[in-house]
């Protein structure tokens, strides 16, 4: 049984309307992609570039080189470990002879952070190695302790005496040699010993 002419016309009109809607949707989606596509691509590239170039979040674990046992460097290292622990950063604390050894460990990538005396390396050389100073901790004086029987008020009076400068891994030997040179004293004129802090004190 065939439908009435009016019903047939209605069905044809309905099919044409559905077809028109489909065509319109396809064209609209295509136009949207053409118009918004470049923007989407640029935003994606910007996000990737930001992820690669912007500093990442702090690490959760770091290796810190400090100094000799019972030294100021070791004490500061212990305090920093406590402070960083509060922020969820675990510090692996490594003792060392001191500044020079710490600098060498940084160069080799054996530690992430280390205490280094100012003057242990020049800024240009540090930059080439990818090392950055995060700031100054404290002024570090050069102490010279003498026995009571040693009567001298200047460095030239140290000639011929035994003097402990600490191990070569510390920053003191190099620094003290510079001080001797300024005062006209050759290191060979002293009997230099390389004991660590506690044995030297004893």
Question: Where along the chain do its domains lie?
Answer: 1-56, 61-128, 155-201
Please compute, for residue 8, the number of CA atoms within 13 A of its CA located in the half-sphere on the CB side.
Answer: 5
Residue that wins the pLDDT comparison between 128 and 179:
179
In order of 112, 121, 133, 173, the CA distances from 117 in angstroms are: 16, 9, 11, 12
- Span of 7-21, 70-84, 136-150 with lowest mean pLDDT: 7-21
The answer to whether the CB of 76 falls within 8 A of the CB of 48 is no
The answer to whether the CB of 98 falls within 8 A of the CB of 70 is no
Level-2 CATH architecture, domain 61-128: 3-Layer(aba) Sandwich (3.40)
| pLDDT tops 90 at residue 111 | yes
Q: Rounded CA gap, 156 and 186, in Å? A: 10
Q: What is the rounded average pLDDT of the residues 12-38?
A: 58
Q: How confident is the model at residue 1 (pLDDT cuts 50, 70, 90)?
A: very low
Q: How confident is the model at residue 172 (pLDDT cuts 50, 70, 90)?
A: confident
The answer to whether the CB of 69 falls within 8 A of the CB of 170 is no
Q: How confident is the model at residue 132 (pLDDT cuts 50, 70, 90)?
A: confident
Q: Nearest CA to 121 among 140, 141, 101?
A: 101
pLDDT of residue 91: 93
Residue that wins the pLDDT comparison between 184 and 6:
184
Write the pLDDT tens digit of every residue in 47-68: 777 777 776 677 889 999 998 8
User: Could you tell me which residues come within 8 angstroms of residue 98 by beta carbon, excluding any fewer than 6 positions away?
Assistant: 67, 68, 71, 73, 117, 166, 167, 169, 170, 171, 172
């Amino acid at each position: 049984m065939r439908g009435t002419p009016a019903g047939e016309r209605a069905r044809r009109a309905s099919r044409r309307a559905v077809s028109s809607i489909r065509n319109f949707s396809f064209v609209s989606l295509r136009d949207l992609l053409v118009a918004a596509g470049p923007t989407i691509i640029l935003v994606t590239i910007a996000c990737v570039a930001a992820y690669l170039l912007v500093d990442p979040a702090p690490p959760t674990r770091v290796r810190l080189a400090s100094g000799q046992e019972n030294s100021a460097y070791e004490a500061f290292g212990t305090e920093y470990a406590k402070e960083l622990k509060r922020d969820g950063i675990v510090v692996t604390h490594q003792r060392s002879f001191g500044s020079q050894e710490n600098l060498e460990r940084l160069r080799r990538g054996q530690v992430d952070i280390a205490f280094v005396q100012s003057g242990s390396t020049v800024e240009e050389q540090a930059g080439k190695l990818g090392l950055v100073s995060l700031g100054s901790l404290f002024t570090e004086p050069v102490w010279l302790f003498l026995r009571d029987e040693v009567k001298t008020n200047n460095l030239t009076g140290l000639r011929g005496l035994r003097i402990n400068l600490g191990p070569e891994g510390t920053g003191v030997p190099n620094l003290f040699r510079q001080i001797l040179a300024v005062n006209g004293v050759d290191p060979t004129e002293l009997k230099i010993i390389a004991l660590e802090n506690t044995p030297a004190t004893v």
